[in-house]
Structure 1
Amino acid sequence: MPVIKILPHPEYCPEGDRIEAPRGTSICEALLDNGIAIEHACELSCACTTCHVIVREGLASLNEQEEEEEDMLDRAWGLEPQSRLSCQAILADTDVTIEIPKYSINHAKEKH
C-alpha cells in the first residue's frame, strides 16, 4: 500500500503524519479515512478547490489531471505547478508527500 506523508499543517495535522491507503483511493478519501479533516466543501465532486494540496513528492505516480480539475485549480489559493485537488488525485503504488496549503477559498467554514 502506498504511504501518504503529510507535511505539518497548523490546523489539520500540526505534527505531520504518515498514513497508508489502498491503491485507487483518492488522497482526500485517504486523509478523511485517517482522521485528517481536510476541507471538502463539494463532497469530492470536483466542484470547488477546498481540498487543494501540493504534491511535493510522487506527483508523476498519480493519475493524469482531467480538464475539469485543471479548470478548478485555476481558482485555488496558492496554486503551484504540483497542485492537485485531493479528491481527484488517485494513488497508485508509489508513496507521495503532500502539503496542505495554509488557506483555501472557503471563507465560511463550519466551527470557525
Structure 2
Amino acid sequence: MTRIVVLPNENLCPEGAVVEAEPGESVCRALLRNHIEIEHACEMSCACTTCHVIVREGYDSMGEPDELEDDYLDKAWGLEPDSRLSCQAIVADEDLVVEIPRYTINMVSERH
C-alpha cells in the first residue's frame, strides 16, 4: 500500500489526513474511498478541473500527464508545476503528499 498524506484543507479535511492507496488506483478514488469528498464534477472522466491537486512530494513516481489532462490543467485555479487532476494521477509505489487547493472552478456545481 502507498500512503497519501493530504495537507490540511479548510473545508475537506481541516486536520489533514493520511490515507492508504493501492498502486494503480487514482488519487481521487483513494481520497473518496477514505471519506475526503474532493469534487469530481465529471465523474473522473478527465473533462473538468474540479479534482485538481498539487503533488508536493512524489510527483515523479506517477506517469506523466497526457495531452488532455494538460489541456484541462491549463484551466485550473491555482495551477502550479506539480499540479495534477487527481482522477488521472495514478498512484505508484512511492508515498505522496498532496494539497487540495482552496478553490476550484466548477461551472455545473449543484451545491449552492
Q: Which amino acid aligns with 1:54?
A: I
Runs of 5+ unmatched residues, structure 1: none
Mapped to 2, the partners of 1:55 and 1:48 lie a distance apart of 18
The percentage of counterpart residues that share the same residue type is 62
Match of 2:86 in 1: 86
Which runs of structure 2 are paired with 1:67-78 in the superposition (5 Å)?
67-78=67-78
Match of 2:98 in 1: 98
Secondary structure at the counterpart of residue 70 of structure 2: helix
Which runs of structure 2 are paired with 1:29-68 in the superposition (5 Å)?
29-68=29-68
Alignment root-mean-square deviation, CA: 1.0
Cα drift, residue 96 of structure 1:
0.2
Task: Please list the CA deviations of residues 54-101 of structure 1 after superposition, one character each: whole Å capped at 9, or x if unmatched.
Answer: 000000001111000000000000000000000000000000000000
- TM-score of the superposition, structure 1-length normalised? 0.96
Mapped to 2, the partners of 1:108 and 1:7 lie a distance apart of 26
- TM-score of the superposition, structure 2-length normalised? 0.96
Secondary structure at the counterpart of residue 60 of structure 1: helix
Mapped to 1, the partners of 2:110 and 2:94 lie a distance apart of 34
Match of 1:17 in 2: 17
Cα drift, residue 106 of structure 1:
1.3
Which consecutive aligned stretches of 4+ in structure 1 deviate over 6 angstroms post-superposition?
Answer: none
